[in-house]
Each structure stands twice: as C-alpha cells, then as structure tokens.
Amino acid sequence: MIRYSRPRRKRDSTIALINVVFLMLIFFLIAGTVATPLDPDLNLVETSELEGREPPDALVLHRDGRLSFRGTPVDPEAYMAGRDPGPVRIVPDRDASGARLMEVTGALRRLGATSVFVVTEKALE
C-alpha cells in the first residue's frame, strides 16, 4: 500500500516577534520617563476626540493667573524675548480664567508668536 505523506509546513517562529515587542516595550518605558513632569497642583482642561502631543516647552497658566516656564515665574514679554518667532504652547489650569487665557494668547501673538496652541488633557471614554 502506498502512503501519501503531506508535505510538512515550516513553523513560523514567533520568538523574533516576541523579542521585538519586548524591546519596544522597554524603549517606551524608558522614553516615557525622560519627559519633565508638569506641576503637581495643575488640573488640565479635558477635551474629547482631539489629537495632541506632549508639550516639550510650554508656558503654564496657573489658576491664579500667573505664568510659569519650567517652574520659574515669567511674563509673556520675558518669555518671547528669548525665543524666535514661531508657535507657542500654553498649558492652562482647568480653573484658570478664560479672560486671562485670552489676554495671554493675545499678548503672545502681538510679541511674535505665529500661533498659540492650548494643550489640554484628552478625556477617556
């Protein structure tokens, strides 16, 4: 009797895929800890369905209306004096006054900011 033997399939090795995923996990864990944290008493504004990115260098508008940059108090004139004209990111506290936010963004635009991006917290659904 003649036996028909099926050709054997080569098994796909998933070890390489597991190694790549593991290395990516380690990379993102390390890269995520490099960013400087925001002020701990800051409550970010929540928005939905918007794409955002983490602000590397952003002004912080506190609830009492004062501005800070990298933890030191600053005003719009001093902030823009050390920068080239271009886009500016501002992180407002949730309880900050809308009028103060408009005042600061207007001053930044007059001082050379080509655009002002308001950074918010994306709400989880």
Per-residue pLDDT of 44-71, as tens digits, reads 777 665 554 445 578 888 889 889 888 8
Q: What are phi and psi of 31, to 5 degrees?
A: -65, -30
Contact 22, 14 (CB under 8 A): no
pLDDT at 87 over 80: yes
For 17, the enclosing helix (H) or strand (E) is helix 15-32
Looking at residue 21, its pLDDT comes to 92
Q: Taking the domains of the chain in order of start, what are their residue ranges?
A: 58-123
Closest residue by Cα to residue 89 from 99, 77, 79? 79
Non-local (6+) Cβ contacts of 86 within 8 A are 112, 113, 114
User: What does pTM read for this prediction?
Assistant: 0.54
CA 14 to chain centre: 33
What pLDDT digit, counting tens, does each position of 25-51 carry?
988 887 776 656 677 777 777 766 555
pLDDT at 23 over 90: yes
The residue whose two tokens read 């001093």 is 78
Work out the pLDDT band at 22, boundaries 50, 70, 90: very high
Lowest mean pLDDT, pick from 12-16, 23-27, 76-80, 115-119: 12-16
